[in-house]
Structure 1
């Protein structure tokens, strides 16, 4: 899987592009990132928090992506696979709680052969 490139030609994050790549809706993308869908739909600039949450979601998918054939498969993992050592929470639940860095570290540890 190639990295998800989700910036428009102005260098701004484009949630519609992410939703298209992941074959999901803006509403579902907002849930997956833990943000208000209105911020992803409107023409206004996203708040820093919303931008960070979207960045975190994409960072996690890009980190785990090489293990999957497509971004859609990585997104399915993100939403549904409980992570060992995190009380059965998924990557999505952890990102929603502001713990994206812990998910990235988990992915890196598993990739290095360290199991939780």
Structure 2
């Protein structure tokens, strides 16, 4: 699946399950997330993804199943899933994850926070926003 197809699927309102399925790496028997497909879905280059994951850029192409790469991708996807559950749309969740400055976190984005190892803080933030919205 190329980046245009992934972007088109997301734009057409695919479910999170469909989004996750589009990220599966068919080159491996093991259930791993494709770093390439993830980068295409988020419209970032592999060097940027490597920097976010805290690995050398060659790690993504040579050992994409490495624990460090997969751990980062899983953490990012946890936040994207929570954001999707909160607003009901993968496309909106991806936009929020990459672009929305969060005042509670010195105006950093969720993407920056996950890259900095603060996944749990972002998840708690999403839950608190949902709780406030439900109470209103």
- TM-score, normalisation: structure 1: 0.75
What are the ranges of 5 or more consecutive residues in structure 2 without an aligned counterpart?
1-12
Report if the CA contact (8 A) 1:33-1:96 is conserved. yes
Which one has a bigger Cα radius of gyration? Answer: 2
Q: Between Structure 1 and Structure 2, how many residues are aligned?
A: 112
- TM-score, normalisation: structure 2: 0.66
Moved over 6 A (4+): none
Residues 32, 78 of structure 1: CA spacing in aligned structure 2 closer, same or farther, 3 A cutoff? farther
1:85 equivalent in structure 2: 104
Given the alignment, which residue of 102, 113, 120 partners 1:101?
120
Structure 1 or 2: more helix by fraction: 2
2:25 equivalent in structure 1: 8
Given the alignment, which residue of 46, 49, 62 partners 1:26?
46
Separation in structure 2 between the aligned mates of residue 35 and residue 68 of structure 1, nearest angstrom: 32
What are the ranges of 5 or more consecutive residues in structure 1 without an aligned counterpart?
none
Superposed counterparts of 1:47-62, under 5 Å: 47-62=66-81
2:60 equivalent in structure 1: 40
Separation in structure 2 between the aligned mates of residue 68 and residue 20 of structure 1, nearest angstrom: 21
**CA deviation profile, 1:5-64 (whole Å, cap 9, x unmatched):** 13335212211222333344333433454543322222x244322221111111111110
The CA RMSD measured in Å over matched residues stands at 2.4
Larger RCO: 1 or 2 (CA < 8 Å, sep 6+): 1
Residues 35, 81 of structure 1: CA spacing in aligned structure 2 closer, same or farther, 3 A cutoff? farther
